[in-house]
Structure formats: structure tokens, C-alpha cells
């Protein structure tokens, strides 16, 4: 069985609206395929500007614009269809996911603006209000200001944030700064795409459900503080293109190969079982197809593992490339911030062949 949607109606028993059934895709799995967005971006002729310190050239998570010698702005935007039916939790998850791009580059969120699409003519305003309340909770938790936003009427709900943060231009963290010998550390387990699909179909245990929602709702702020204090230069957050897709972005931008130790990659409870039961979103299939040409997979690694490494994540953790002599400091800082840091690989010299090596 292969499943990306289920035969359920938009209303649960009792008339409650099921947000996930109002849309075709859920969460970051709704992103345009990596190869397609690359084609689109290549068609744009963006003029060089010395104020732009980081941005689209290396597929960075946000753009950084210098304001003064010691101050720059970090700007990003992110929104997606519902991953859960609870509107308040949907708002929290979407906001945490949007704020993550600022954290991935070492910035501090300053302000956020809502982006909301909702069929209020059909379902009223109460659900939308709950979504916005959930988003506000995470904006305030991040220490940022909610500064308005924009809404439109749309049959398929979507919600997210445009976020502006601040950063010291001398301490920017990008995808292009990984060095040979750097150790790769992941701060959240994988499996959100698989588990969200299973949950949407009503086939997920309560324990797995709460672990999934708790992970997606958690801000990457503590992990960001730890890597900034350690002096990390390279990181990204793991979202719609999966661990493999985002690791490939780092490898290309930094001119290195990446070796992933599959046994060290943490998974959310129930991920493997859900995948083996056929739950795998279309976005994850697209990720797997996109990275296939760049993969070198050891014969001991099973196909199920590779598939989960390509799973489209929603509000995933940070993938941090840290110099080996700063690894212990980073792990200690993460631990002091109550973040689990998992060593999952290393950066190698670039080869003439594949860019990602899974052992």
C-alpha cells in the first residue's frame, strides 16, 4: 500500500471541520519540487547588491541585508496547508516552522506578520481566529512582535509568517560554510511527513501523535543559541526537502561531500512502522527522486532507511556542521539548553561522483 491521502470527509463525526481534509497536501510536503523551483529561480536575473550578505545564491534559509557595520536584518517567509485538524496547534506549528529560518542563520526574531488563507464564507471565522492565536503564542515565545499581516479568502487553508530578525553581520551562519572534517549534528528526530500522513488517515497511536506534535511545535531557538555561542559557521533547518535534500544543499554550497551515518539518525516513535504500513507523502517521493542521482548508498543500508531520510519534514530540527574541536562544546551547550544533539555524519572532501554517502 502507498498512501498520501485517505478517503475521509471534511467533517468529522459531530460536524467538526477537519482542516487536513480541506487541502490536497499537508505541511512542508506541499512545497514545489526542488528541481522545479531551481528552474524558476534560474530564470530570475537578480542584480548584485553589496547590502545582501546572504540569500538565494546558496539557497540559504533567509536573506540577510546589512543595515550598518554591526547590524543586519534576517528576512524570511513561510506558510503551508494544515498538518493537523486542531486549529490552535496548526497555528503553533506553522509559526514555529517560519521562525526556524531565522534561527537557522543565527538570527534573533524581531517581528512577524501573518499570512493567512481561509474559506471563511463557508466555515466562518472561529477556526481562523484559533489558527492566528496559535501562531501568536509562538511569536511571543520567540520574543518577537506580531506586526499585522494579510488574509485572503481561499478554499484551501494556508497559514504562516513573514519574519524579520536581527543578526551581527560578522556572525552569520550559512549553508556555504561547511569545511572538510566538520561533524554533522541534528537537533530533532525525523519522521514528520510519514507520521502526519498516518495521523491524517487515523492510523497513529496517541503516544506517537503527541511526540510528533510536540516536536513540530518546538522552536529551534534553544538550538540556535547553542550554535551561536559555540561559533558555528554552517547550518540549515530540515523542512520540506527532507534531510537528504537539505544536506545536498549544504554539500553543493560548501563544495564538500557529506557522509550520513544512518544508524545515528533519530526517528520519532512509530516512524518506521508507519512507513512500512504505506504512509509516505508525495513530497517525500519527489525528494527521493531528486536526490537519487547524488546518492551513494552502502549495501548494508536498507531502502526503508533511505526513504525516511528523504521524508519531507515540517518544522524539523537544525542540521549543524561544527568543527571537530568544537563538537564537545556544542553538545554541552545543546544539553544545557535541553536540546538533544545527535551526531549523524561528517563532511568529506568533494569527489567527482556522488555528493551524499549513506553508510
Structural domains counted in the chain: 2
Residue that finishes a domain, picked among 141, 167, 193:
167
CA distance 249 to 253: 6
The predicted structure's pLDDT at residue 289: 94
Q: Tell me whether strands 63-68 and 256-260 are parallel, antiparallel or unpaired.
A: unpaired
| Candidate list 25, 28, 117, 234, residue with the active-site label | 28
User: What predicted TM-score, i.e. pTM, was given to this entire model?
Assistant: 0.90
Q: What confidence score (pLDDT) does residue 174 get? A: 95
Mean pLDDT (the chain) is 91
Helix segments in the chain, DSSP class H? 34-42, 87-104, 120-123, 126-141, 192-200, 206-217, 221-230, 242-254, 271-276, 282-291, 303-309, 327-336
What pLDDT score does 59 carry? 73
Give burial (CB, 10 Å; 0-12/13-18/19+) of 143: exposed
Report CA torsion sign: 267, 282, 83, 246: positive
DSSP helix/strand/coil, 357: strand
Distance between CA 223 and CA 342 in Å, rounded? 12
Distance between first and last Cα of the chain: 27
Mean pLDDT of 336-352: 95
Q: What is the pLDDT of residue 105?
A: 95
Domain termination residue (choose one: 167, 193, 208): 167
Task: Give the pLDDT confidence score for residue 7 in this predicted structure.
Answer: 42
**177-186, 198-207, 317-326, range with the lowest pLDDT:** 198-207
Q: Indicate whether 227 and 139 sit together in one domain.
A: no
Are residues 153 and 260 located together in one domain of the fold? no
For residues 163 and 61, membership in a common domain is answered with: yes
Residue 14 pLDDT grade (very low, low, confident, very high; cuts 50, 70, 90) = very low
Lookup result for grid cell 531557538: 221
- Residue 125 maps to which CATH number? 3.30.1330.10
User: 261: helix, coil or strand?
Assistant: coil
CATH code of residue 317: 3.90.650.10
C-alpha cell at 138: 509562538
Same domain, yes or no, for 151 and 210?
Answer: no
Structural domain that includes position 117:
19-167
The answer to whether 28 is a known catalytic residue is: yes
Res. 11: pLDDT tops 50: no
Per-residue pLDDT tens digits for 77-117: 999 999 999 999 999 999 999 999 999 999 999 999 999 99
pLDDT of 6 higher than 60: no
pLDDT digits (tens, 9 = 90+) for 226-276: 999 999 999 999 999 999 999 999 999 999 999 999 999 999 999 999 999
Q: Is residue 203 part of a domain?
A: yes
Q: Are residues 132 and 234 in the same domain?
A: no
Residues 142-163: tens digit of each pLDDT? 999 999 999 999 999 999 999 9
Amino acid at each position: 500500500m502507498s498512501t498520501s491521502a485517505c478517503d475521509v470527509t471534511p467533517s468529522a463525526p459531530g460536524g467538526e471541520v477537519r482542516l487536513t481534509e480541506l487541502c490536497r497536501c499537508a505541511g512542508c510536503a506541499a512545497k514545489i519540487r526542488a528541481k522545479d523551483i531551481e528552474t524558476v529561480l534560474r530564470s530570475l536575473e537578480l542584480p548584485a547588491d553589496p547590502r545582501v550578505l546572504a540569500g538565494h545564491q546558496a539557497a540559504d534559509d533567509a536573506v540577510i541585508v546589512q543595515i550598518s557595520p554591526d547590524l543586519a536584518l534576517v528576512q524570511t517567509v513561510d506558510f503551508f496547508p494544515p498538518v493537523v485538524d486542531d486549529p490552535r496547534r496548526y497555528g503553533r506549528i506553522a509559526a514555529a516552522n517560519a521562525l526556524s529560518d531565522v534561527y537557522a542563520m543565527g538570527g534573533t526574531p524581531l517581528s512577524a506578520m501573518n499570512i493567512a488563507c481561509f474559506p471563511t464564507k463557508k466555515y466562518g471565522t472561529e477556526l481562523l481566529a484559533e489558527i492566528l492565536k496559535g501562531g501568536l503564542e509562538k511569536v511571543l515565545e520567540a520574543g518577537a512582535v506580531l506586526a499585522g499581516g494579510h488574509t485572503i479568502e481561499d478554499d484551501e487553508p494556508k497559514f504562516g509568517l513573514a519574519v524579520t530578525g536581527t543578526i551581527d553581520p560578522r556572525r552569520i551562519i550559512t549553508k556555504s560554510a561547511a569545511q572538510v572534517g566538520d561533524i554533522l549534528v541534528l537537533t530533532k528526530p525525523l519522521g514528520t511527513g510519514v507520521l502526519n500522513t498516518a495521523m491524517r488517515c487515523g492510523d497513529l497511536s496517541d503516544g506517537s501523535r503527541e511526540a510528533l506534535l510536540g516536536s513540530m511545535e518546538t522552536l529551534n531557538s534553544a538550538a540556535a543559541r547553542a550554535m551561536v555561542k559555540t561559533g558555528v559557521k554552517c547550518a540549515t533547518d530540515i523542512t520540506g526537502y527532507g534531510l537528504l535534500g537539505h544536506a545536498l544543499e549544504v554539500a553543493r554550497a560548501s563544495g564538500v561531500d557529506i557522509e550520513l551515518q544512518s544508524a545515528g539518525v533519530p526517528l520519532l516513535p512509530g516512524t518506521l512502522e508507519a512507513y512500512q504500513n504505506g504512509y509516505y507523502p508525495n513530497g517525500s517521493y519527489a525528494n527521493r527522486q531528486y536526490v537519487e542521482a547524488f546518492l551513494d548508498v552502502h549495501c548494508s543500508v536498507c531502502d526503508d532507511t533511505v526513504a525516511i531520510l528523504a521524508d519531507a519534514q515540517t518544522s524539523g530540527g537544525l542540521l549543524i556542521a561544527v568543527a571537530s574541536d568544537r563538537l564537545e562544546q556544542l553538545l554541552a551547550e545543546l544539553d544545557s539548553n535541553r536540546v538533544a544533539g545527535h551526531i549523524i555524519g561528517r563532511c568529506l572532501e568533494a569527489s567527482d561522483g556522488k555528493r551524499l554517502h549513506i553508510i
